Chains A and B, each alone.
Chain A
Amino acid sequence: MSPLWTPLFILALAIAGFFAARSRALSTAGGNPRLMHSLPRVYGMNALIWTAAPALLLLAALTLAQPMMQERQVMSALPDSLTASAGETSLAMAEICRIAGGIATAIENRSLSKDAALQSSDIGTLRDALTGAGIAVTPETSAEILNGAQDWYAYDRRAALLHAVLALGAAALGLVWALRRARKDVNARSTVERGILLLLMGAASVAILTTVGIVFSMLFEAYHFFQQYSWREFFFSTNWNPRFQGGSDLGMLPLLWGTLYISLIALIGAVPIGLFAAIYLSEYASRRMRSIAKPLIEVLAGVPTIVYGLFALITVGPILRDYFAAPMGLGNSASSVMTAGLVMGIMLIPFVSSLSDDIINAVPQSLRDGSYGLGSTQSETVRHVVLPAALPGIVGAILLAASRAIGETMIVVLGAGAAAKLSMNPFEAMTTVTVKIVSQLTGDTDFASPETLVAFALGLTLFVLTLILNVIALYVVRKYREQYE
């Protein structure tokens, strides 16, 4: 039986429960919905929830928990020679899972009989049977592994059956309970409301829990890194020079500087232009102009960043070098902080402008009327009334743009290069935290060396940086909101 059948069957049962409970509740009221505490369909929903929700949750929990328990049992049967180290254990377990999977498929398409797979205690016959069924088993595959695979497969089958029985039992119990409560004087409405509340809370906690999970996995790896590398060196050294033979300098200051420098240039370009464009679109442009210009600006937002990177590489970089950097004697590299910053700024313009535009549009017309009514001009109204009222939202938009700038990778790789450097000269090649995270993790990596693990420490630093930005944003927004609401 395929594992999909159980949830489908539960759902069918729940839908049947819906109709049964609805008509049952209605009949207890003699067919008159006005005598009922809740609407008929609410009783139906109640039955649906009681049938489906606990059973599906139970099924999900069992399915998640089972491999872990199974693994522990199969592992305990393995001899010490196979479980000497963590690496060897996981290798052995992977092999067992693979063979067990092969057995399952072979039995399903009848190239292997169940008896041959499970009963044969003689390793030679089992090996032949498996090879005959097209499962890759080498003569070196040990008897313990093969027995483990047999056990694994047997556990799997037993578990699947057990889960189905348990879940269907839960569904039946829920259905009976809900049907018994499908009476006209029962308050089904608040049960359904609570069910909806739980559903929504569940969705919210998935979002929160994944964030927490991400942070913890980063923390974990970063902790490994700091066990092998001094945190002082990492945070305060101005040298970035990883060597895979060991003895690297992993100071993040040059990377952090590159990130901040490039983001700053990008924001200096993007914020005024984006904001002014938004003001024009929302306050000055006619409706027709707006309907043409706004989508055009938003097209910019849809361009993949790699395309911006190409633009930086082949157009902006050489132009800056030939017309600005070289004549002024500031360097002769096409890859530079300026190139990446400018192109990133272009990328951020639609981001800033469309967010600000929405925010400015949300300022009530009555405020503008009040200002015009006092005889102020359009720009006075924008400066003194509209922008202050929209400020919290605009600050939020700018900080969102800043977070994007800090996290951007592609434009930097192609526009600013990959050389970690601490310099004030904007026409010099530098690089950022994100670029180095990528380069430390590409290629053959060994997740135990500091050269690789540093990526997680860098990631964590970025995370904290954006977190601080967000906290500042929240603070600013709250401070102004008090005044402006």
Chain B
Amino acid sequence: MTQNRAKIRTEGVNVHYGATHAIKDVTLDIPDKTVTAFIGPSGCGKSTFLRCINRMNDTIDVCRVTGIITIDGEDIYDRRIDPVQLRRKVGMVFQKPNPFPKSIYDNVAYGPKIHGLARNRAELDEIVEKALRRGAIWDEVKDRLSEPGTGLSGGQQQRLCIARAIATEPEILLMDEPCSALDPIATSQVEELIYELKNNYSVVIVTHSMQQAARVSQKTAFFHLGTMVEYGETDEIFTNPRDERTENYITGRIG
């Protein structure tokens, strides 16, 4: 496999929620045009760390992030960086599906509209359709685009949120358990999407499924109680983990 240059670098990142120390001194480089998986037991800080990468933690009052995170060599916590610009570049699919109380169409068109990606309605239609197709939900919703997105099933909402995130064409896509509510068919469609996205973007995915991590990712990081225990090539981690905790987790002894 070709080794790409680092897209995201983190150095000594610590996150505190008030008195809770949620992320402890995490340093890792995420390469461009790869899929990186974060795995680890529930509550170990995967979501928290993921949210640091597009500064979503800014919206939480009690949350404090220290350390250095750079994207393309630029410190994203620098005062000159506008988090709005950053998030336009670093898209995110949340752990819980959160469609807007708008129509399915408007949900997907929201990002392109506020960023002015379409010059006219026809272009917007095209962007929406493409995003919904890539999110593997087009066939299910093409006849009901004007119905509320909140009226979809949990799994459909999850794919709608994926479509919404990729409609703005981010350079980095952060996905927090994007397949947790999907059936095997939809899961494999989303995995195909992730695989395809990899050609142009960096994808970071949090997952509880070892098989999924093994199938879609090239790099894997294992988190445990707020520390990053092990990070390396996915094949390595799954076949030959160096740390005992990683091995125990992968083989199902802790978690």
Give min CB distance, A432 to chain B, whole Å: 38
When distances are taken between beta carbons in the complex, the residues of chain B under 8 Å from A376 are 84, 110-111, 114
When distances are taken between beta carbons in the complex, the residues of chain B under 8 Å from A389 are 100-101
- Cα-based distance from A480 to B165 in the complex (angstroms): 25
A366, B94: Cβ atoms closer than 8 Å: yes
Tell me which of A287, A372, A483 contacts B148 (CB under 8 A): A483
**Which of A28-36, A377-385, A442-450, A451-459 faces chain B?**
A377-385
Contacts A370-B94, A485-B150 given; indicate if A375 touches B114 (C-beta within 8 A).
Answer: yes
When distances are taken between beta carbons in the complex, the residues of chain A under 8 Å from B110 are 371, 374, 376, 384
- Cα-based distance from A483 to B99 in the complex (angstroms): 12
A375, B87: Cβ atoms closer than 8 Å: yes
- Tell whether B21 is near chain A: CB-to-CB under 8 Å: no
Q: CB within 8 Å of A: which of B78-93?
A: 83-89, 91-92
B161, A370: Cβ atoms closer than 8 Å: yes
Closest to A383 in B: B114
- Tell whether B102 is near chain A: CB-to-CB under 8 Å: yes
- Tell whether A373 is near chain B: CB-to-CB under 8 Å: yes
When distances are taken between beta carbons in the complex, the residues of chain B under 8 Å from A388 are 100-102
When distances are taken between beta carbons in the complex, the residues of chain B under 8 Å from A366 are 94, 96, 98
Closest to A366 in B: B98
Closest to B170 in A: A375
- Tell whether A484 is near chain B: CB-to-CB under 8 Å: yes
Closest to A380 in B: B114
Closest to B55 in A: A372
- Cα-based distance from A384 to B148 in the complex (angstroms): 15
- Tell whether A368 is near chain B: CB-to-CB under 8 Å: yes
Give min CB distance, A94 to chain B, whole Å: 63
B148, A375: Cβ atoms closer than 8 Å: no
Give min CB distance, A372 to chain B, whole Å: 6
- Tell whether B168 is near chain A: CB-to-CB under 8 Å: yes
Give min CB distance, A414 to chain B, whole Å: 44
Could you mark each residue 102-116 of chain B with 1 if its beta carbon is under 8 Å from any beta carbon of chain A, else 0? Answer: 110000001100110
Contacts A366-B98, A388-B102 given; indicate if A374 touches B164 (C-beta within 8 A).
Answer: yes
Contacts A369-B94, A370-B94, A370-B161 given; indicate if A375 touches B111 (C-beta within 8 A).
Answer: yes
- Tell whether A365 is near chain B: CB-to-CB under 8 Å: yes
When distances are taken between beta carbons in the complex, the residues of chain B under 8 Å from A380 are 114
Contacts A287-B61, A366-B98, A367-B101 given; indicate if A373 touches B92 (C-beta within 8 A).
Answer: yes
- Tell whether B254 is near chain A: CB-to-CB under 8 Å: no
Give min CB distance, A335 to chain B, whole Å: 46
When distances are taken between beta carbons in the complex, the residues of chain A under 8 Å from B56 are 369, 372-373
A375, B98: Cβ atoms closer than 8 Å: no
Closest to A363 in B: B101
- Tell whether B234 is near chain A: CB-to-CB under 8 Å: no
Give min CB distance, B92 to chain A, whole Å: 4
- Tell whether B54 is near chain A: CB-to-CB under 8 Å: yes
- Cα-based distance from A372 to B111 in the complex (angstroms): 10
- Tell whether B59 is near chain A: CB-to-CB under 8 Å: yes
When distances are taken between beta carbons in the complex, the residues of chain B under 8 Å from A372 are 56, 59, 83-84, 87
A483, B91: Cβ atoms closer than 8 Å: no
Contacts A375-B87, A389-B101 given; indicate if A369 touches B148 (C-beta within 8 A).
Answer: no
When distances are taken between beta carbons in the complex, the residues of chain B under 8 Å from A484 are 101, 148, 150
Closest to A390 in B: B101
When distances are taken between beta carbons in the complex, the residues of chain A under 8 Å from B83 are 372
Contacts A388-B101, A484-B148 given; indicate if A374 touches B91 (C-beta within 8 A).
Answer: yes
- Cα-based distance from A369 to B168 in the complex (angstroms): 16
Q: CB within 8 Å of B: which of A359-418?
A: 364-377, 380, 384-385, 388-389
Q: CB within 8 Å of B: which of A133-185?
A: none
Could you mark each residue 132-163 of chain B with 1 if its beta carbon is under 8 Å from any beta carbon of chain A, else 0? Answer: 00000000000000001010000000000100
Tell me which of B59, B96, B165 contacts A374 (CB under 8 A): B165
When distances are taken between beta carbons in the complex, the residues of chain B under 8 Å from A482 are 148
Give min CB distance, B203 to chain A, whole Å: 15
- Cα-based distance from A204 to B80 in the complex (angstroms): 59
Closest to B93 in A: A373
When distances are taken between beta carbons in the complex, the residues of chain A under 8 Å from B88 are 374-375
When distances are taken between beta carbons in the complex, the residues of chain A under 8 Å from B89 are 375
Could you mark each residue 61-97 of chain A with 1 if its beta carbon is under 8 Å from any beta carbon of chain B, else 0? Answer: 0000000000000000000000000000000000000
Contacts A287-B61, A368-B59, A485-B150 given; indicate if A375 touches B101 (C-beta within 8 A).
Answer: no
Give min CB distance, A369 to chain B, whole Å: 6
Give min CB distance, B127 to chain A, whole Å: 13
- Cα-based distance from A483 to B104 in the complex (angstroms): 11
Could you mark each residue 266-287 of chain A with 1 if its beta carbon is under 8 Å from any beta carbon of chain B, else 0? Answer: 0000000000000000000001
B84, A373: Cβ atoms closer than 8 Å: no
A367, B100: Cβ atoms closer than 8 Å: yes
Which are the 8 A-B pairs with shortest beta-carbon distances? Answer: A375-B88, A484-B101, A366-B98, A373-B92, A374-B111, A375-B87, A370-B98, A389-B101
- A to B CB contacts below 8 Å, 26 in the list: A367-B101, A370-B99, A370-B164, A372-B83, A372-B87, A373-B54, A373-B56, A373-B92, A373-B165, A374-B87, A374-B110, A374-B114, A374-B168, A375-B86, A375-B87, A375-B88, A375-B111, A375-B115, A376-B84, A376-B110, A376-B111, A377-B84, A380-B114, A389-B101, A483-B148, A485-B150
A-B contact sample (16 more), CB < 8 A, given A370-B99, A370-B100: A365-B59, A367-B98, A370-B98, A371-B110, A372-B83, A373-B87, A373-B92, A374-B111, A375-B86, A375-B87, A375-B168, A376-B114, A389-B101, A482-B148, A483-B103, A485-B101
